[in-house]
Amino acid sequence: MTRLLFIPGSLREASSSRATVGALAQGLGDTVESTVANIGALPHYNADLSDDPHVGGFIKQIADADGLVFVTPEYNFSVPGVLKNAIDWASRPAYASVFKAKPCFVISVSGGALGGVRAQAHLKYILNGMLAEVFTCQEVVITQANAKVKDGQLSDETVLTFAEEHLSAFLKTLGASSGANPRMTQG
């Protein structure tokens, strides 16, 4: 079974990032093993620290995953500090980290009209710098995301169908089938 690690870029439980992760993971059903990373448990990056169990666990989650799905909000025209902190922990050693050749899928969310496009561009740039394999597709950006969350889940069917279509294509590159969700389109 294909294993996906979802990495939401927000710590807030009621965030649109987490609501998007929840809806996508639920939509995959039991066709994929979905895990959600807890990046809030990581200490601030400090190369003097070693053997932190949260850091070791996060790196292991990335290593064990067949693919990573980032869902990031945009803070001040870029990625949130907490997400960058998590990436920094897992990015060592440079050019030979657990991110090297790791397939990654990027989604951005925003309460505004641009859907976090600047954060998405920055995140892709960061991932490329670590030699991760960023999946190429039309950008999945969720505009005015907070208004699209109902009962803790992203509820906009049009947005979900678009995101799931591209997530399905990503899964196919990993050798996974995602046929369990009736909203998912097979291409």
| Residue 180: per-residue pLDDT | 42
With CA atoms as reference, report the closest residue to 98 among 108, 107, 106, 86: 86
With CA atoms as reference, report the closest residue to 156 among 18, 23, 17: 23
Interval 99-131: pLDDT, tens: 999 999 999 999 999 999 999 999 999 999 999
| Residue 175: per-residue pLDDT | 87
With CA atoms as reference, report the closest residue to 41 among 49, 52, 31, 27: 52
| Residue 176: per-residue pLDDT | 66
Question: In this structure, what are the phi and psi dihedrals at residue 161, rounded to the nearest 5 degrees?
Answer: -60, -45
Fold of 3-173: Rossmann fold (3.40.50)
If phi > 0 it is left, if psi is from -120 to 50 it is alpha, else beta; for residue 102 that is beta
Interval 117-175: pLDDT, tens: 999 999 999 999 999 999 999 999 999 999 999 999 999 999 999 999 999 999 999 98
How high is the mean pLDDT of the chain?
93
Is the model's pLDDT at 70 over the cut of 90? yes
Q: Residue 75 carries which DSSP code?
A: B
How many Cα atoms are found within 13 Å in the side-chain-facing hemisphere of 169? Answer: 14
Q: Please state the separation of Cα 36 from the chain's center in Å.
A: 9
